[in-house]
Chain A
Amino acid sequence: MPSYIEMPKLSDTMTEGTVVKWRKAVGDAITLGDVVAEVETDKAVMELEAFGEGALAEIYVQEGQKARIGEKLAMLAAPGEAADPAGERLIHGQAPADSAPADAKSPAAVGSPEPRPDPEPARTGAGPVTGTAAPARIKASPLARKLAAARGLDLAGLTGSGPGGRIIARDIESYSEPAPQAATPSGAAPISVPAISPHDRRVSLSGMRKIIADRLVASKTQIPHFYLHLEADVAELTRLRAQANTAMEKAGGGRLSINDFVLRAAVLAATRVPRANASFAGDAIIEHAEVHLAVAVAIEEGLVTPVIRQAQNKTLRQISEAVKDLAARARAKRLKPDEYQGGTLTVTNLGAYGVESFSAIINPPQAIILSIGAITKRPVVNRAGEIVAGERMSIGLSADHRVVDGAIGAEYLAQLREFLENPTLLLL
C-alpha cells in the first residue's frame, strides 16, 4: 500500500497551504521526520515533515500550487511496493529485484506509456482540486472543444465553470486572451516569499488582484515586450483644448480632457497602422477590423480596462463621454463583462500624477499598450533653431514583438504624434 503525504493543518486558521518548495525529489528515500517540503500557510512558511517512510513516488502538488488541508501532496511507495509499477520504476535501484518484471526495465522506461494507477481517484473527495501536477484529463464539453479549436485556444490554460470544473462553452466565449500557463513551469523556482513580522499586515488577494497577478505574470513572462518612447509637441493641443472647452462650456457640454484627445489620436493612428491593432493567436496573427479601445482605470481594488467598442466610429466627444461613463461605472463596479473584455489596444495615462514617462505591461492578447505621461513645459528648439518654451508629452509604447516589429511600432507612434501635433484632425 502506498502512503501519502497530505497537507497538514499548520495553524488554527489555515484552510489551505501553498507548497513553496519540495526539498525532496521523486525517487528520494524518505524516513520518518524528514523535511520533505516547505509549505506556506496563511501565517508563515513552515517545514513539512514526513509522517511515513518510503520513496517519494509521485508529486501531485507542484511548487507554487495550493492544496486544501488533507489533500494529498505526494505519494510514498514503501520499499518493495508492488502495487504501483510506476512508483517502482521511478525508484529504480531500491526495489527488490524479484518484485516485478517491470524492474528489469531501465530508468529510461519511466515515461513508458504502460498503464499505471491514476492518482486522481484517490484524490477525489479531498475538496476542490486547486492544482494538479499530473497531466490530468482536461474536462471540457464537446462544444467547448470545438469553440476552442476554432479560436486556436489551448484548453489546458483555461479554468472551467461547469460542474466539477468542466470547461463549457461559456468559458471559451468569455475568454479574451491567449491561454496563460496555469502554473509555474516545473523547474522554475518561485520568487521567495517575504518574511512576515507580527507588525506586518497580510492582505489576502482579492479575486481581482489574483487575476491581475496571474495575467501580468503571464504577459511579462510570455510576451516578448519591447519599448519605444517619443515626445510630442502638444502646445497646439493644449491651446485647442482650452478653446474647445470654452466653447463647450458656453454650450453647456462636458469638458474635454487631454486624455480624450490622446484616446482619439490612438484610435486614428490604429486605423492608419492596422498591423498594430492586432493580437497573437498562437498560430496566427489576428488583425482586427475594428478598434476596440481599452482604457486603464484605477479603482480601489486594482485596475480595470473598460473597452470603448468600435472606437474608430466615435467622435472625440463620443469618446470623451464613453470614457466618463465607463470609468464611473468601473469605480462603482458596475461594468458588465463585455464592457471590459475584447479590447484590441490599451491606453494607460499616469500624466495626472505627474509621471513624465513610463512603460506599461501589455494587456494580452493585445499587441500594444500606450503609456502616456504628463505634459511638461521645457525648453525646446523650434524650427527656426531657437530655444523656446515648449509643451511636451512623453508617449511610451510597449509592443508584443511576435506581432509588431520595431518599425511598425515606430510607424504607429509617428502617426500618433502626427495627430497630437495637428489636433484639428482629431476634431474631424
Chain B
Amino acid sequence: MPKEPTKPYDLIVIGGGPAGYVGAIRAAQLGKKVACVEKERAGGTCLNWGCIPTKALLRNAELFSFMKHQAGEFGFSFDNLSYDWGRIVRRSREVADKNASGIEFLFKKHGIAYIRGEAAVERAGVVSVKAGDQAETLEGWNILVCTGVVSRPMPGLPFNGTTIIGSREAMVLEQQPESMIIVGAGAIGIEFAYFFNAFGTKVTVVEMQSHLLPLEDAEVSQNLERAFRKQGIRFLTDTKVVRAETEDGGVRIAAHNHKHELLEAKVCLIAIGVQPLLPGGAPLKLTERGYIETDDRYQTSIPGIYAAGDIIGPPWLAHVASYQAIQAVEGMFTDHQPRRITNFPSCTYCNPQVASVGLTEQLARERGLKYRVGKFPFTASGKARAVGEVDGFVKLLFGEPHGELIGAHIIGPEATEMIAELGLAITLEATYEEIEATIHAHPTLSEAVHEATGQAFGEAIHI
C-alpha cells in the first residue's frame, strides 16, 4: 500500500538571515510548524557579516576620530592616544555573536526546528539538507527561500582573501592595512572608507559614477564629498578600473577618468555590489539579473515555493528583507494580501551620516513631478552646535499642489535615526501641514525636520 506522504512542516525556510529568521518566527507565531535551515550561523549576513558588526566598528571610528580631532575643542587632552586593532575587531565579533545567539534563542522559544546544513530545494514540498556527510530530507507544505547574496567580484580581479577582499574579510583584517583602495562608493564602500581612514589607513575610493553614494540626492553626495575631502579621504569619481594586478603584499590598479592613473595599496576592497546565492536543486525562474523571480505573493515559478529578501533582487536591505518575509508568510497562512515594498529608508553610517527615504530631487525632476524643496542646515540647529556636529542638512521634497512629502534626505548627526519620522510621514501620506503641526522637542536635531518643512513654505524661523 502506498504510504501517504507526511508533511511534518508547514513551512521550511532556507536561510536564517533577516528574511529567513523573521519569516520563520512570524510563521511560528501564526501557530505553524516551522524549520529553518542555515548553513552557517543564524542572523545571516546582516547580523554576522554586515549591518551589525560594521556598526560596531564604525562606533570605534567615531569615538576615535572624536578624540583625535575634537577632544581639544571639548577640553579633553590625552597623552599617547592609542588603540588596539585586535580588540576593535574582537569587539565587533562579540557583538555579532551575541546577536546571532539571540536569534538561536528566539528559534528555541518559538519551537522552530533550527537545522544546520546546506539546503537544496528538491521540488515543491521537499528540501534536502547536507551537513558534512550527513544528509536528511525535510518535507513541508511551503518553502521560503531566503538565501541572500554575496559580494560580487570585480571582473578580472577575483577575491583572494588577503589583498583583494570583500566586505566580509574587510571587517576581520588581522592587521590594519597601511593603505587601501576601495572600488565602489555605495554604502558599503563609503562606510569602510570612513572606518579605515579614521584609524589612519590611506584610503582611495574609486567610483564609476559621478558622485559618492550615487543613489542619494546629489546635494547630499556633494556635502559628503566635502566632508570626506576634509577627513583626508581621496576619491576618484567618474573613474573606471581598467586593469588590476596583485603583487606580493599589495595591489596595483590602473584607473581611468580623463587621464590614466596608477593606484597602489596594500589591500583592495571590492564593494561594487552583490550577486545572488541561489539554492541548489529545482530550477526556479530567474530575473534578467539572475535573482529569483517572484509574483505579488512572493511565490516563485514553482507553486508552493516562495522567496524573499536579497535573493529576489534589489534594494538588498535587511529591513526590506524582513518586511518581505513577513508579507510572504502572512500571505501563505492568512487571508492577508501580501504587499510589495514601495517606501524604505536607506542609511549610510559614515560621519556625517547619510539617510534618505522617498525620491531624490534628480528622480523627482526626471519623473516630471512638481515639487517644492525645504532645506535646513545643522549649522542653524542649537542642538547640533551643542554636540559639536554642525556639518550637513535636512532636505525635504514636497509634491505640488497638495504638499505631500515625497522625499527626505538627511546628512549629518544621527541622520539614520531621524529618518524614521519621515518614513512614517511618507507611509501615512502626510503633507507639510502634519509635520508643521507636530511639535518637535527643543532642543533636538529633529527640529531641523520641522524647520526644513517650514522653509519649504516660507515659514522657517531660524534661517
Interface residues of chain A, those whose CB is within 8 Å of chain B, are 141-144, 146-147, 150, 168-169
Contact = CB atoms under 8 A, between A and B. Distances in A.
B437 to A, nearest CB: 10
The A contact surface, by secondary structure, is helix
B429 interface: yes
A141 B402 contact: no
B426 to A, nearest CB: 10
12 contacts: A141-B428, A142-B404, A142-B430, A142-B431, A142-B433, A142-B434, A143-B402, A143-B404, A144-B429, A146-B402, A150-B402, A169-B429
Name, among A141, A142, A147, the residue most crowded by chain B CB atoms within 10 Å (CB to CB): A142
Given A144-B429, A146-B402, A147-B402, 18 more contacts: A141-B428, A141-B429, A141-B430, A142-B428, A142-B429, A142-B430, A142-B433, A143-B402, A143-B404, A143-B429, A143-B431, A146-B403, A146-B404, A146-B431, A150-B402, A168-B429, A169-B404, A169-B429
Contacts of B430: 141-143
Contacts of B431: 142-143, 146
A150 B431 CA distance: 15
A169 B430 CA distance: 11
A141 B434 CA distance: 11
B278 to A, nearest CB: 32
Interface of B: 402-404, 428-431, 433-434
Which 7 pairs from chain A and chain B are nearest by CB? A141-B429, A143-B429, A143-B404, A146-B402, A142-B431, A142-B434, A142-B430
A126 B73 CA distance: 60
A168 B430 CA distance: 10
A158 to B, nearest CB: 14
A299 B402 CA distance: 39
A65 B80 CA distance: 78
Nearest to A161: B337
A150 B402 CA distance: 9
Contacts of B429: 141-144, 168-169
Name, among A143, A144, A147, A168, the residue most crowded by chain B CB atoms within 10 Å (CB to CB): A143
A141 B430 CA distance: 7
Contacts of A142: 404, 428-431, 433-434
Contacts of B433: 142
Nearest to B432: A142
A363 B431 CA distance: 34
A169 B433 CA distance: 16
B307 to A, nearest CB: 24
Nearest to B433: A142
Nearest to A162: B429
A143 B403 CA distance: 8
A241 B392 CA distance: 71
Nearest to A149: B402
A188 to B, nearest CB: 31
A2 B430 CA distance: 38
Contacts of A147: 402
Contacts of A168: 429
Nearest to B437: A142
A263 to B, nearest CB: 32
Nearest to A169: B429
B370 to A, nearest CB: 14
A177 to B, nearest CB: 21
B304 to A, nearest CB: 25
Contacts of B402: 143, 146-147, 150
Contacts of B404: 142-143, 146, 169
A142 B428 CA distance: 8
A142 B403 CA distance: 10
A168 B431 CA distance: 13
A184 B402 CA distance: 34
Contacts of A141: 428-430
A146 B399 CA distance: 12
A267 B165 CA distance: 68
B408 to A, nearest CB: 15
B11 to A, nearest CB: 23
Nearest to B401: A150
Contacts of B428: 141-142
A130 to B, nearest CB: 13
A152 B308 CA distance: 41
A168 B427 CA distance: 10
B280 to A, nearest CB: 37
A104 to B, nearest CB: 40
A101 to B, nearest CB: 37
B217 to A, nearest CB: 22
Nearest to B435: A142
A169 B402 CA distance: 11
Contacts of B434: 142
Nearest to A168: B429
Contacts of A144: 429
Name, among B402, B404, B428, B429, the residue most crowded by chain A CB atoms within 10 Å (CB to CB): B429
A146 B433 CA distance: 11
A169 B403 CA distance: 13
A133 to B, nearest CB: 24
A143 B400 CA distance: 11
B434 to A, nearest CB: 5
Nearest to B337: A161
Contacts of A146: 402-404, 431
A146 B401 CA distance: 10
A196 to B, nearest CB: 27
A169 B404 CA distance: 10
A144 B402 CA distance: 10
Contacts of A150: 402
Nearest to B431: A142
B342 to A, nearest CB: 10
B369 to A, nearest CB: 13
A142 B434 CA distance: 8
A141 B403 CA distance: 13
B371 to A, nearest CB: 14
A231 to B, nearest CB: 49
Nearest to B405: A143
A146 B402 CA distance: 7
Nearest to B434: A142
A146 B403 CA distance: 9
A142 B402 CA distance: 9
